[in-house]
Every structure is written in structure tokens, then in C-alpha cells.
Amino acid sequence: MTSAAHQQDRVKHLFIWPAVLIVLVVSLFPLIYALTVSFQTVRIVPPTPPRFVGLANYAEIAGSARFWGAIWTTALITFLSVALQYALGFMLALALHHNVPGTALYRVTFLLPMFLAPVGVALIARMIFHPYLGPVNDAMAGLGFAYVPFLTEKWPAIMVLALIDIWQWTPFVTLLMLAGLQGLPQEVFEAARVDNISAWRRFWGITFPMLLPLSVAVIFIRLIEGFKIIDTVFVLTGGGPGTATETLTLFAYNEGFKKFNLGLTSALSFLFLIVVIVFGTVYLAAAQRVTRRFA
Amino acid sequence: MKKLLLTAALLPLGGMAAAQCAPDFTGVTLNVSTNTGPAIASALSAAAEVWEKKTCGEVNVIEFPFGELYPKFLTAMSQGTGDFDVLGFVPAWLPDFAPFLSTMPATLQDGSNWEDIHPTYRERLMVWDGEVKSATMDGDMHMLNLRADLLDNPEEQAAFEAKYGYPLAAPVTWAQYRDQAEFFTRPDQRMYGTAEAYRRGGQQFWYFFSHAASYTNNPNHPGSMFFDPETMDAQINNAGWLRALEEYKAFLAFNPPGALNNGSGDVRPLYAGGTVAMNVDWADSGILRATEGSEGAKGTVRTAMLPGSEEIWNHKTGQWDKFPEVVHSPFLAFGGWQLGVPGDSKNQEAAWDFVSTVVSPEVSGKAIVTANSGVNPYRFSHYDNLENWGSVFTPEEAASYLGAQRASLDAPNVALDLRLPGFFSYTEVLEIELSKALAGEVEPQAALDTIAAEWNKLTDEFGRDKQLAAYRASVGLPPLQ
Amino acid sequence: MTENRSLRHIGLILCLLWLLLAAFPLYWVLITAFKPPLAVSQGPTYIPFVDYQPTLQAFRDAFAGLRGDFTGPIVSSILISITSTALSVFLGTMAAYALVRFNYRIRLVSGLAFATISIGGFVLLDIFTDLRVPYALGLVLVTALPVAIWLNGRALPGPVMGNDDVTFWFVSQRIFPPIVSAFAIYLLFAEMGKIGLPLLDTFGGMVIVYTAFGLPFAVWLMRDFLSTVPLEVEEAAMVDNIGRVRIFLQIVLPMATPGLIATSMIVLAFVWNEFLFALLLTTGDWQTLPILLAGQNSSRGDEWWAISVAALISIAPMVVVSTILGRMMRSGLLSGSIK
């Protein structure tokens, strides 16, 4: 190999290894621990010595209706809110990019929800949706609607949870899409304007395809993060009524941190991982196809 | 220069102070942890000031969210990190924590201070597996909170008697409770009868237990409320529990709208703000109404023992036992915050000394009358000193407040809270099925049957004999021969 | 032209609606922080001075330490967040750049070998020896990594994974539910503490963990932003024999500034608000704001005024950050081609 290629190699490694090492060191032990524990019964309360049980934990989870219910609930809330977040966030980014009046104000306030701690958002939502002391039901009553059981029936509760998620994370999409929009080369748009192409066609023909890789990335991250929703559910409904609004992470939290049934929780975590990877792979494959179509 | 002179002047004073460190814990820093204040944490901080002056040690009060206390403490203790020297925790966790906690030194289990603690706490709540593992620093139970502005109002009294045929007074049975709740439910006036907690994750099961104690805590068969004390079969689906569930659910009609989503934290402002005529709660409601209620709420706090029943279920005969008089089974919900010293703490002696300071009659006597301290009476000396309450309550309020608590503790048929290893496993399935039953998704009996089946399964998983022994100990029964 | 105007109108209406929706809860928090308890427990109140008399009591309580110490967590959160964000964005951007410009080939076989040696080795060490966890972990890492790298160099059969897979691996670290990971890391840090390297409740421990958190975001997001940076400028510089590192620092980074800023804000937001690991891995010295905020949800009751004050305090530094960085994103100023 030539010396230039050697140098190339060295730089190549210099750039990527720090990141890889840090992630590896922090994530390797949890992975090993979770894997080994998932094949045993490890209970801290009551303290029982660990027993090797093979796939029993996995079988128990995979066979429990509660697990599949949690997947269904989590997927429902996540897909619903991410879809709306993306559409809304993209539209807002476009508006900001084209300098609608008041952009300076929007830029700060639009971003704020994202900067609130999820547990803070959950507590605030609890205040606002409080059936007796909160403004939402007050407004509902004022508009003539009877009191709406936002948090005590399954479907209203899911809507509320999705709504809160949208409220908090649309800024995420807006921020990133705006950065993407600002990074687009201006010449293409100049040319299109000169050719008198309509704004609609400009968007679908130029903007959207060029931002497709970024969109795919943003949606993917939102999906992955969204699947881990727990704070709002914990504070607003506790997972109830029954287990109607119980999400996967809440299920894992109760098993792992309240019952300290670590073996079961580890098995649950791995199954969760598989579920999300399945969803993720399907999503990425579909996204690939869409990208190719628009390219 | 001035600073130098000042320091030089203070040195001899410092020397004098050092000579007063008794016992001397100079250089020791205790990590004391409990949930985020002001309740309990402020009491610990106040006690810390006293202790620091007495012993020249230092105290670091660390606070965590209530919901995360259990996992944080258990994680730290199970790994033996020595992070904490004193823990302020919930008595229901004592079975799970006990293997990791150190036993109270024998020197503290003696003398007038020890005898001053009410025996219900001293001999039952603080003990696990025959050893004193924790110290009560707070006394908790569920009570009925009432309003004098309604109960003493002549028009209300006349109207009530006309409608129901007996005088308006503190309810002694749940039937009377129901009547009063119905009487005061006036939606057009934005007033409702009562407020109880119903939400999953909002500590609702304790409210359910309070109802159930009256119908299932049979004085002739002590300890048969939750489980059969001889076989450990779950009793939670018997007729007494069913009746409690049906009533608990029916009273939703007299709660403000949205009650299904109320946690224990929501029922307090409803009572304090005057939205409801009464509520079932711990002692916090009364204090909240007295300190943060409206002008019209001044002097209107009345507290009573929980309603009881003339019929209690007998699990052996499968029949209702009838009693000539109403039997009260006040439920010691929650039990009252405990202080414990983890076995891996490196400052055992200092830690227990701090604990003894916090629970001493002087320090605790001040804590119970300090607003926001979250400490409720648990020593005989607490109940005897009515004047201390002047800053919070009027004399009538104080008499009623303390009287109800004392009567509850002294009641012959007082019902103790559930304390078992694996507490959360049992309560999780209870909460899930309970919330389904309340929401009308399943029939009450079916929900209770599901809970019973799960409980029996859990008992077998954890070891039936071990759980039986633990249960018998927790309700004060001798071990089975 | 008219189409442009009607589109701008729609855009304006949308922005105003969203402003209302986004701002109302924040407004509610703001006014609730000043409410006396009665203004909460007797029904919703909306306008200070009209519906109720505002009071500073909640603020006084908070700063008196009545609901937990505020000053410590504020400092901890600021220090930990800024350091972790800076580290993860910097290292992540470097990795993203490498993934965009270079070609990586990792044989599946060597990846599997790494996994087998590390996991299997650790389990064997755990069962058959008394080696403490950190030593065992170090041992398997030091063995597995060189072996895997060496294997990668050999010509072995099997599929070869490329850059996309490396990126996916980074992001997959975010998928695993945090419950068991948090406990495992606590265990590891506790063990490290026992052999003399205290990581629990330390600045270093938290920064390492949070950097590892931020890296997936940084890599995933910056990879897309960097791919829009035109190649010609770099190639021109390379012809002039300028080193890669200098090219990266002085040419590429400035051109990707909007993306850098956006990514930094995202990572900062995540680290600032992270709760579970902060709860387990800190005790008294480095407790962060989210724990304090969660602590306001006390068993004593939802004291909304206290929650609002805590929320306001938690978000205040973020408001400053978002204002500063938001200004840097003024449209058009930092876009693409800097010739």
C-alpha cells in the first residue's frame, strides 16, 4: 500500500474509533448482563438464588396477552403521533424557512416543548387535563360538551397520550427539517422559479426528494424514541384502566423496578429489542424503496 | 485582619463546643435519604440540626421522588454500596428491605422513651422476623375527614334528619357514610359528597382496603383479612371484600366528576377547597384544610374514625357474623414512615444515634405540630399535648383530630396494612383488576376472583410456607405449630 | 405570485395556531407557579390579578429548599449536560464524517467472533473464576477486540457489512429499553467502586454514560447533514495536500453548521432531561434536575404550584440555550455553499 493509503487508513480509524469505543464500553456489560440474566430467574425480592431456566422467561412473556397488548398500544400511540409530528413539523419548518412574519418569535417558542423533561411534560399535562381543576375540561364545558373522560377510558386516553407526544416532539422535527432546508443549495430553486414551476410541484419535485434521507432519519429516530414512552403514561393513567394504556417500557418498569423480577425483565427487554428492530427494518426497507422512487 | 481576629476569638468557643459533642461523631457525615420534601424530609432536616449541634457530626439529607424510592433504595442495598446511612421508607417495604437492614441496638429498645411509643407501632410495625428493624417516625392511618360548617349547620341538620330519619353526625357505618355523601352531592352548587382515590398508581388500593377492613377484619378470627392465616389462601374474593368493592364503586356517584382518575393527592385539595363535604384520607387532608383552606374553612376540620359495620364476614363458616354494636376496624393504611439503617452503612453507631434523635419525644413532639413536616402522632406523649397544635388547629379541631387518631390506634379491632415479601407483585395485579372493575370492564366478583387466583400463584412462586410465616408475623399471630 | 401569497397565509395561520397550542401549556405553567393553593383547588383560574392574586410563596418555598435542594441539581445538570453534549457531538461528527467519506468493511464473521468471545468469555470467567466484574470485563474486551480486528483482516467467507450497518449499530443502542441497562450499569459502577475507581455519583461516570447516549444521535443525524456538504471543496483542499484532520476541522465543520447546531440542541435536550440513569447513578453529589422535578410529584398531593416552579426552573437554562442557538439558525445566513 502506498503511504497515502496508509495515512488514509490511519485517519479512517482515528475518526471512528473513539465513538465506537465509548459506545462499546458502556453498552457491552449491560448487554452481557441482560443476556445472561434473561435465562435465569433472578429475583431480588424476595431474595432467591438465581436458577437457570433456559427459555422459560421468554416463553412466559411471549405467551402473555399483556405483552402483546403492550406492543399493540405502544405501536398505536407511536405510529399515530410520529406521522402527525412529521407532517406538522415539516409544514412548520417550511413556513419558518420562508420567513413568515413573526419567525423570530416562533423560533424560540416552537422549540421549547422539546426542552422540557418528559416527566415535567407529564405533570403539566396532568394539570391541564385534570377532570375537575384543569382548563381543558373547563373549556369543554364552556363549549357545551359534557365532561369528557379523557384519562379514564381507553381511546380518549390514547388520543391524549398521542397528543402530548405530538406537542412535545414536533419541535424536534421542525428543528431538523429546518436545518435541512437551510442546507439545500439555492441554485436549484432559482432555476425552478425562473422556469415558473408552481410551489406545489417545486415541493414534491425538488424539496421533498432532496430531504428524503433526512426525513427517513428523523422519523426513524422518533419511532425508536417513541416506542420507549413511559413518563406520560405513568403519571397520567398509570397504565390503566386495567392495562389498556400500558406501554412496553411501563410494563418493563413495573416488572423490573417494582417487582425486581430481573430475569423476566431482561427477557422482556430482548423481545422488545427484537420487536423494534423488526419494525425498524421494515420501515427502513420501505423508506429505501420510496427514496429510490423519488430519486 | 478582622477575620483573623474574629477567628482567633472564636477558637476557644470552638474548643468549648467540641467538648460538648456527646456522643462525639466529629468527622462523620451521615447520608440520610427519603422522598422529596417537604413531608418527612423537612422533619429529618430539622432533626439533623439538633443532632449536628449535639454530636458535631454532619447530616446530608438526600431526596428522591416518591415513586422511585423503592427501586433506588433496593438497588443500592442489594449491591452493598454503602451509599446511605439512614433510610426513610414505607413500612410495606420492610419485608423486602429487612434482609439488608441492621437491627436496632438493644440500648434503644429500653426505657421510658421506648415505652412511650404506642404498642401498635412498637410491637408490630417496627418488627420483622422477630427483630426490630426500623423505627417509626410517623403514624399513619386512614380517617374520615368531615366539615363542621356542614355538620353543625342547623338547616343542613334539619333537612338531613327529615330525609334520612336520624341526626346528622359523623358516620359510624358505611351506610350512614353513603347517606351523607348522597345528601351533599349538589352538582349545581359545585359541591359533592365525598372524595376517594380510584386511579391505578394513585395509591387507590389503600382506600379499597379501608372499606374492606370493616367487613373482613373479623375480631374472632384475627389476621383473616387478606389471607387465611392457616393455609395462606387468598381471602380477597370473599363476600366481605365483594361488598366493600361494590360500595367503593357505587360511591363514585358521589365523587366529583373524573374521580376515576383521582389519586390520593387529588382528594386533599378537593376537601381543603370545600368542593366535597368529606373524604377518606390520611391526616394530611385535615392539616391542608386548616392551613391552606379558604377563609370560610377556618375551624371547620373534624376528624373521625373510619366507619365500621355490624356484620363482618367469617371466612371459616362462610357466613356473616352479626355483632350487637358497630365494630370499627380502623385501617392503618400505609402504617407510617419508618427509619432504617442499611447493613452496609459504614456509620452504624452514628446512624442509630441520629434515628434515636429523630424519634425522641422532644424532636418528634415539635415535628408533629410543624406545618409541612408530614409527621403524625405515634407516641402517647404526642396525644396528650393539645396546646402545641394552636398554630395549626383551633382547640375543637385539635381535640377531634387527635381523638380520632388515638381512638383508631386503641381500637380493639384495629386492622394492620398488608406487609409481605414481594409486596408490589401482589398489589400490581390488585391495582390492574381493581381499575378494570371500577371502569366497569369486568364484574366485581370476577375481578376479585382473578386477583385471588394470581395471589395464590404468587404465594406458591415465592414459597407458600415462607409467605405464610411472614404473613402470620405481620398480623401479630404466633407461628403455626 | 398570488399562489405564493395564499401559501404564505396558510403558513402564517398554521404558525399562529401552533404558537397557541405550544404556548398555552407553557403559559399555564407560568401562571400556576404564582397561584396560591386556593386558586388551584377551587377550579381553573386563567388570568393573574383578575382571577386570583399572584404570590411568590411557591418560589420562596422552592429556594428555601423546602421541596428539595435546587441549586445543587441546577449546577450538576448544567455541567454534565454541556460536557456530555460537546463530547458526543464532536466525536459523533467525526465518526459521521468518516462514515460518509470512507468505506468500512466489517466481516460478519469477525463481528460474531467478537460477540462470542466477549459474551462467552465473560460468562465462563463469571462461573469458573472469582474474578471481579470489571476485571473480567476488561479481560474479555482486551482479548475479543484484537482477535476480531485480526480476523477482519483475513480473507474469510461470509457477508461483509458496510457503513450503513455500522450506522445502524450506533442507532440500535437507543432501542434497548433502559430498565435493565440502568441496573446493569449501576452494578458495573458499583463494582468499579469496590475495586477503587468510584464512578457512582461522580462527574466522570455521568459524562461517560451520557456521551454514549448522545453518540447515536450525533452519528445518525450528522451523517445526513455532512452528506450534503459538497465534495469539490474537500477535493480541492486535498489536491493542495492539506491533511484530512485540518480539512475536517476548518472546512467541513463550518459548512455543516446548521446541522451541527441542530444536532447539539437535540443531544443537549436529551441529556438535560434524562431521568432513569440519573436517578440510579447519582446520589447526593450530582443529582440532576429531572429527579428534582419528578420529586415534586409527591405522595402528599399534586401541589401544582410547586410543580410549576420546578418546571420553570428546569426549563429556564434551556430557554437561554434555544434563544442563542435559534438566532444562529437565521434562515439563509448559514446555508450551503460557501465558495
Poorest-pLDDT segment among B95-104, B169-178, B247-256, C295-304: C295-304
% of chain B surpassing 70 pLDDT: 95
Cis ω on the peptide bond leading into residue A46 (within 30° of 0)? yes
Question: In chain B, which residue's Cα lies nearest the Cα of A236?
Answer: B261
Please report, as a single letter, which amino acid is at residue C286: W
**Min Cα separation C67/chain B (Å):** 5
Rounded to 10 degrees, the C-alpha dihedral A14/A32/A259/C274 comes to 0
pLDDT at position B313 is 93
- Could you say which of C61, C280, C302 has the minimum Cβ distance to residue B72? C280
Q: Alpha-carbon torsion A204, A206, A210, A211, what sign? A: negative
State the pLDDT at residue C301.
Answer: 58
Determine which helix (DSSP H) or strand (DSSP E) holds B131, and give its type and residue range.
strand B131-132
Which regions of A82-216 does DSSP assign to beta strands (E)?
none
Task: Give which of C294, C186, C74, C283 is closest to B62, Cα–Cα.
Answer: C283
Contact A39, A55 (CB under 8 A): yes
Asked if B121 contacts B139 with a C-beta cutoff of 8 angstroms, the reply is yes
Per-residue pLDDT at C333: 39
Do B367 and B375 form a contact (C-beta atoms < 8 A)?
yes
Strand partners, B101: B342
- Determine the residue among C299, C304, C305 to mutate to test chain B binding: the one whose Cβ has the most chain B Cβ atoms within 10 Å: C299
Q: C46 in a domain, yes or no?
A: no
d(CA A280, CA A282): 5
The whole-number pLDDT of residue B12 equals 52
Chain C residues closer than 8 Å to A260 by CB: none
pTM of the predicted model as reported, rounded to 2 decimal places? 0.85
The shortest C-alpha distance from A161 to chain B (Å) reads 15
Mean pLDDT to the nearest integer, B275-304: 85
Mean pLDDT, chain B, whole residue set? 87
Please give the ipTM for the structure prediction.
Answer: 0.84
B71's grid cell? 427501586
Cβ contact (<8 Å) for C176 and A269? Answer: yes
φ, ψ dihedrals at B400, nearest 5°: -65, -45
Q: Quick count: other Cβ atoms within 10 Å of Cβ A205? A: 15
Contacts of C297 in chain B (CB under 8 A): 65-67
Cβ–Cβ gap A112/C315 under 8 Å:
yes
Q: Residue C299's closest CA among B369, B40, B141, B271?
A: B40
Q: CA–CA separation, A230 vs A236, rounded Å?
A: 10
Give the contacts of A66 (CB within 8 A, at least 6 positions apart). Answer: A243, A246, A251
| Structural domains in chain C (count) | 1
Looking at residue A140, its pLDDT comes to 78
C-alpha cell at A201: 410541484
Query: Does C157 map to a domain?
Result: yes
Structure confidence at residue B155 (pLDDT): 92
Cβ of A109 within 8 Å of Cβ of C15? The answer is no
A51: enclosing H helix or E strand: strand A48-52
Q: What is the 3-state secondary structure (H, E, C) of C278-324?
A: HHHHCCCCCCCHHHHHHHCCCCCCCCHHHHHHHHHHHHHHHHHHHHH
Closest CA to B142 of B376, B424, B362: B376
Strand partners, B58: B29
Q: What is the mean predicted confidence (pLDDT) over B110-129?
A: 84
Find all residues with CB under 8 Å of B42, minimum gap 6, and list them: B370, B372, B373, B374, C66
Give the residue-averaged pLDDT of B403-408. 89
Do the Cβ atoms of A153 and A161 come closer than 8 Å? no
Give the 3-state DSSP-derived string for B280-323, with helices as H, strands as E and coil as C: EECCHHHHHHHHHCCHHHCCCEEEECCCEEEEEEECCCCEEEEE
Task: Kindly report the backbone phi and psi dihedral angles of residue B435, in degrees, each rounded to the nearest multiple of 5, phi listed first.
Answer: -65, -30
Give residues with Cβ within 8 angstroms of A97, minimum separation 6: A178, A181, A182, C331
Instruction: Map residue B342 onto helix, strand or coil.
Output: strand
Q: C296 — contact with chain B (CB < 8 Å)? A: yes
Phi-psi region of B179 (alpha: psi -120 to 50; beta: other; left: phi over 0): alpha
Q: What is the DSSP letter of C66?
A: B
Strand pairing report for B86-89 and B131-132: unpaired
Identify the domain containing residue C115 by its residue range. Answer: 106-161
Name the stretches of chain C with pLDDT < 50.
Answer: 1, 331-339
Q: A226 and A168 in contact (C-beta within 8 Å)?
A: no
Name every chain B residue with its beta carbon within 8 A of the beta carbon of A49: none
> Is residue C269, in this structure, part of any structural domain at all?
no
| Bridge partners, B127 (sequence order) | B132
Which domains does chain B possess? 25-133+338-374 (3.40.190.10), 143-333 (3.40.190.10)
Closest Cα in chain C, distance from residue A227 (Å): 8
Report yes or no: C293 and C313 within 8 Å, Cβ to Cβ.
no
Burial C77-105 (b: 16+ CB within 10 A, else e): beebbbbbbbbbbbbbbbbbbbbbbbebe
Residue C72 forms contact with B (CB below 8 Å) = no
Residue C127 lies in a domain: yes
Q: For residue A70, which residues of chain B lie inside 8 Å, CB to CB?
A: none
Spatial distance between the Cα atoms of C326 and A122, rounded to a whole number of angstroms: 25
Q: Which of A126, A127, A132, A250 to mutate to test the interface with B (most CBs of B within 10 A)?
A: A132
Q: Which domains does chain A have, with CATH numbers?
A: 65-294 (1.10.3720.10)
Identify whether C144 is part of a domain: yes
Q: What are phi and psi of B89, to 5 degrees?
A: -135, 175
Query: What is the DSSP-derived secondary structure letter of residue B64?
Result: E
Query: What is the average pLDDT across B321-327?
Result: 92
- Angle made by CA atoms A252, A255, A257, in degrees to the nearest 5: 90
Instruction: Output B372 or C134, whichever has higher pLDDT.
Output: C134
What is the pLDDT averaged over residues B217-241? 92
Judge: A100–C188 Cβ closer than 8 Å, yes or no.
Answer: no
C15, C228, C269 ranked by CB distance to A102: nearest: C15
What is the three-state SS of C220-268?
Answer: HHHHHHHHCCCHHHHHHHHHCCCCHHHHHHHHHHHHCHHHHHHHHHHHH
Mutation pick from A33, A200, A223 vs chain C, by most beta carbons of C within 10 Å, is: A33
Residues of A in contact with C177 (CB under 8 A): 228, 248-249, 252, 268-269, 272-273
CB-nearest partner of C329 from A18, A119, A179: A179
Q: For position A74, what pLDDT does the model report?
A: 92
**Cell digits for C38?**
386556593
Residue A48 host element (H or E) = strand A48-52
**Per-residue pLDDT of chain A in tens (295 residues, 90 and over written 9):** 455 556 667 777 888 889 999 998 898 888 888 888 888 888 877 777 788 888 888 999 988 889 999 999 999 999 999 999 999 999 888 888 887 777 777 777 887 888 888 888 888 888 888 777 778 877 877 777 766 677 778 888 888 899 999 999 998 898 888 888 887 877 877 887 788 777 778 788 888 888 888 888 889 989 988 888 888 888 888 877 778 889 988 888 888 888 888 888 889 988 988 888 888 889 989 988 888 887 6
Contacts of C211 in chain A (CB under 8 A): 22
Is the CB of residue A46 less than 8 Å away from at least one CB of chain B?
Answer: yes
pLDDT computed for residue B48 by the predictor: 92
C-alpha torsion sign, points C285, C291, C296, C301: negative
A113 vs A164: CA distance, rounded Å:
10
The answer to which of B32-36, B40-44, B258-262, C297-301 has the lowest mean pLDDT is C297-301
pLDDT at B100: 92
Residue B6 has pLDDT above 60, yes or no: no
